[in-house]
Structure 1
Amino acid sequence: MIQGFESDTELPRVKLVAADMDCTLLADDGSMPPHMLERICALDEAGITFCAASGRPLYTLMDMFSEVADHMALLSDNGAAICCRGELIYKDLIDVPTYHELIDYTLADGRGCPVVCGIEAGYLRRCDEVYDDFFRRFFTKIVYLDSLDELDADVNKYTVYFPDRTAEEVFASTYDAAWSDRFSVTNAGKEWIDFMNKGVDKGTGIERLCEHLGVAPAEAAAFGDTYNDIPMLKAVGHSYTVANAEEHMHAHARFLAPSNNDRGVAQVIDRLLELVS
């Protein structure tokens, strides 16, 4: 049974803290915890690496953490690109014919909007620009095209946006069975279904980052709230869900942190910093 975060008696041994962004580190209004950048630097000074672990693209995370990027790690696109202290240490690309196959499937299905997640930008159809305000929360660089048919770019994730918030149902009914044998396919909340190459997810991403840092996964902590966080929670020794996570998620973590709006990740980090000071 999941325990309160104060029950993590081995917390002072943690050398890596990885947190999902939306609905985990960020409040419902999208805001970062106050003084979060100072916490990241304090962790770095204590020999602990903070990692933003997100389905968001690398350039968006770089923009969000530009002031402290040299003091932390960025695990983007659910593990398809990893940057540590300003150095790109891993990227995994989906080949061009394959992501066009995924685009064609999405358009034939008709229930979602194809979003091609390139290393340099997100590529979308111009007809989906009506959702631009929402897309800009996740993609700081967007290229709208009349058609995606001729797109030829370096792409490390493909995602489908469901404006009616039916991603979980669509994933369970069709997308999972159709594609999970070829890809790492996951829900990233109620709006998104994400595709990465097989073997790419937040769990393998954390393992790659641990290897780069010389940190054992048992010495890593991770925080999450939804399906695409499950591999990451399974990979680490200190797994936390936030209190606002869906109930089924708590079975995948050892410890319960306060909710995103109560700045639960920041509370646990503050406890860690107090214990190692």
Structure 2
Amino acid sequence: MRSYLEDDLSGVRLVASDMDYTLLADDKSMPEDMPGRIRALEGAGALFAAASGRPLYTLRDMFPDSWDHMAFVTDNGAAVVCREDVVFKSLIEPATVQALTEFTLEGGYGLPTVCGLDACYVREQDRRYDDVFRTFYHNIVYVETLDHLAAEVNKFTVYFPEGNAVPMRDEVYAPAWGEQLSVTCGGAVWIDIMNQGVDKGTGVERLCEHLGISVADVVACGDTDNDAEMLETVGHGYLVANAEERMERFADFRIPSNNERGVAQVIDAVLAARRA
């Protein structure tokens, strides 16, 4: 794959980045001075967007000094927010949430979590994984049962502690649900399920419509399955060096790894190109 340094970034209006193993280092730390970079992009006539499987309330906590100067493609595109404006949200029907819960529990496939707009609902008996859940869901409500929750739900996520989410998606969830819902993996331990047509790619498209810009003028950075549609959709699809080889078919260029702060280097390159 070619290096991003060979790309023409002069027309870029939006930089969208995945979080885990893309923007964030392996230790979950953020690049230095991200607030400064985010505000600099805005000042240069561009915008930064965090594109993640995480919900809005968690992502805003991660950008406390700049959330109102950026955009969010949250829950893999199930909710899109630009600064303080809700651009889009896609809620899963309660009957579908119930059916997914029963399918997961009756099959013994993994640990179900129900992701609402304001909180993530988890069974009390799965509290032992709280440290893992808390990394992604800052607002967790533990309940005795997930049956018939009275919540606005936009994502159903299954946690696989043994790291077998990808084969479980391919062999179990996609065959059973793939024709009616969007089924993807957020790394080795998460299967994420949203409404059909919801993914990071369509989320970025909706954000571009709101901003009045073309997807051709977007840089997207990612590393794994739930980034695939986003990388294919935009004009500048960038894969971090630490991504698995199987992801290369979705992107055009390579950038340095997450631990080398590749996304920060891309932002700096976009700023230099915008100012040239």
The bucket for the TM-score relative to the shorter chain is over 0.9
Q: What is the 5 A alignment of 1:1-277?
A: 2-8=1-7, 10-277=8-275
Whichever residue aligns with residue 136 of structure 2, its letter is F
Whichever residue aligns with residue 34 of structure 1, its letter is E
Distance in 2, Cα, partners of 1:114 & 1:34: 35
Contact 2:73 2:203 in 1 (8 A): yes
Secondary structure at 1:195 match in 2: strand
Unaligned stretches of 5+ in structure 1? none
Contact 2:9 2:274 in 1 (8 A): no
What are the Cα deviations for residues 114-135 of structure 1, in whole angstroms up to 9, with x where unaligned? 0100011000000000000011
Q: Cα offset for 1:150?
A: 3.5
- Stretches of 4+ moved more than 2 A in 1? none
Secondary structure at 1:218 match in 2: helix
Secondary structure at 2:121 match in 1: strand
Q: Cα offset for 1:170?
A: 0.8
Distance in 1, Cα, partners of 2:147 & 2:208: 38
Normalised TM-score (structure 1): 0.98
Distance in 1, Cα, partners of 2:109 & 2:196: 24
Contact 2:98 2:148 in 1 (8 A): no
Distance in 1, Cα, partners of 2:116 & 2:270: 36
Normalised TM-score (structure 2): 0.98
Q: Cα offset for 1:108?
A: 1.1
Secondary structure at 2:136 match in 1: coil
Contact 2:24 2:30 in 1 (8 A): yes
Unaligned stretches of 5+ in structure 2? none
Contact 2:38 2:69 in 1 (8 A): yes
Whichever residue aligns with residue 5 of structure 2, its letter is E
RMSD: 0.8
Whichever residue aligns with residue 193 of structure 1, its letter is I
Secondary structure at 2:10 match in 1: helix
Distance in 2, Cα, partners of 1:62 & 1:199: 25
Distance in 1, Cα, partners of 2:150 & 2:265: 44
Distance in 2, Cα, partners of 1:89 & 1:13: 23
Q: Cα offset for 1:111?
A: 2.5
Contact 2:121 2:142 in 1 (8 A): yes
Distance in 2, Cα, partners of 1:72 & 1:26: 17
